[in-house]
Amino acid sequence: MDSLSSSSLSPYYHLFFTAFAFIISGLIFAFSRKSGSKKLNLPPGPPGYPVVGNLFQVARSGKPFFQYVRELIPKYGPIVTLKMGTRTMIIISDADLVYEALNTKGQIFASRPRENPTRTIFSCDKFTVNAALYGAVWRSLRRNMVQNMLSATRLKEFKSARDLAMDKLVDRLKAEAAANGGVVSVLKNARFAVFCILLSMCFGVEMDEKMIEKVDEMMKTVLIVLDPRLDDYLPILSPFFSKQRKRVWEVRNQQIQTLVPLIEKRRRAIENPGSDKTAASFSYLDTLFDVKVEGRKSSPTNAEIVTLCSEFLNGGTDTTATAIEWAVGRMIENPTIQTRLYDEIRETVGDRKVDEKDVEKMPYLNAVVKELLRKHPPTYFSLTHAVTEPAKLAGYDIPTDANVEIFLPGISDDPKLWSNPEKFDPDRFFLGREDADITGVKGAKMIPFGMGRRICPGLNMATVHVHLMLARMVQEFGWSGYPEEGKVDFSEKLEFTVVMKNSLRAKITPRA
């Protein structure tokens, strides 16, 4: 359920250059170093300008931020510093250093940095599992989510919701294929299916397709306004972003107005048992009405509940749907993978619909998913960490106000850790040539869900969804490229998660 690191940088058009002149001419002398203060021994990095640091170098490079970082590593090493305006960013791309930070020194590296103003609004001042500082609020909210919602027992209770969503997915794919000569959009359909499951788990009330799409569109709008802006790194420029700040509040109000009626509907169903025959017996929302938060006497407000529900929905939707898009792309690229998956499904379940219990008996499916998470982790960076006290790593100082970023491709593509890391090869796991613990307990060889104290609490749920959805999609359809003579374009871009630059369209053929 982890979302994109707040350090990602979007293009800012001409404002960069205007702001650059403005800052250099008017503000460079407004910032001065304290005389006599101890100079920190930060990790190496490219030299920057006064005040703005490396901010404009990144922006004017014309490269996606992840690519800019990737090119810094050979020059500066596995731990790099970027000065991004008022923020210091320390990027770690070495498995051993990540393990030291998040495991050996896990308690020190377990906090989060200060939020930008937009995220402060949408997180209700860090009142979420992912954004909370390491402390009482985080412990209370995480314990509630893990024990009362994401335990193995609770996840089993939502099996019917998953089965229904899978049937809807198959029907939607058939209908779209019938209307488009067999061609379907992979990401859009996968995303809708996962979103249906999470809505059911979150709210426990019945919704028609129109309402589902309304909530989905609202959630996408929230993700768009969460994109970082220039004034997040240079707050002095905030007067130039008044329109954007107004838009943020408009979207926040829309989010509250959309979700509060669903919250109140569920509240009435609980207070009047039997009044809503369609209501589920349990939902995540039920745990939020009276969750006990250390240090607080009151229950969460409706606005805080909206924030917690949104975290649950956003954290688990795009990450899973993105994995499915990459999986289908890899199966089209290498039809042998698809054939072996289908044969394994047939051998395991015969003619009946594949069930989530069945996937545990499918070693090749499990190998495909593991390779998928290695080669295509949901994000380039795990959620940003911060230290609770000044710390040392690799002999360098890590100050408390630094954004500590874990660059996942630096680990999963490391030839010192993996043989032929550029190749998508499920047999590395299926044949036992290589292995890795995705929880990071034994090492940071591949950590698509993060690791340590702040590991994604939805890890088990996400893997259940990816396994089940991929198995059903392969069982029901044969997947081939569109256009048929074209190769799959594996170029990447960032849209909350790492998606295909050109959204994948595929041709499907119903299995006999």
Query: Where is the binding site for heme, in residues?
Result: 456
> In the beta sheet, which residues pair with residue 497?
495
Which of 375, 471, 492 minimizes the C-alpha distance to 426? 375
**Nearest partner of 12 among 163, 202, 234, 259, judged by Cα:** 234
At 114, give phi and psi (nearest 5°): -60, 145
Q: Which residues of 480-493 are buried (b: 16+ CB within 10 A; e: fewer)?
A: ebbeeeeebebebe
Rounded Cα gap, residues 355 and 59, in angstroms: 47
Interatomic CA distance for residues 418 and 450, integer angstroms: 19
CA R_g for the chain: 23
Sign, CA dihedral 98-102-103-105, equals: positive
Give the dihedral sign, CA 193/282/163/355: positive
Q: E strands of 34-86, at which residues? A: 79-84
Q: Are 196 and 212 in contact (CB under 8 A)?
A: yes
The whole-angstrom separation of Cα 305 and Cα 299 is 10
For residue 343, give the amino acid letter: D
| Residue 198 DSSP one-character state | H
Closest CA to 128 of 316, 299, 307, 296: 307
In angstroms, the Cα distances linking 72 to 91, 109, 114, 410 are 10, 23, 25, 11
Q: Which residue ranges are tagged as binding site?
A: 456
Ramachandran sector of residue 480 (left: φ over 0; alpha: ψ -120 to 50; beta: rest): beta
Q: Are the C-beta atoms of 407 and 76 separated by less than 8 Å? A: no
Helix pair 302-333, 363-375: axis angle to 10 deg? 110
Residue 171 CB partners (closer than 8 Å, separation 6+): none
Residue 18: CB atoms within 10 A of its CB come to 13
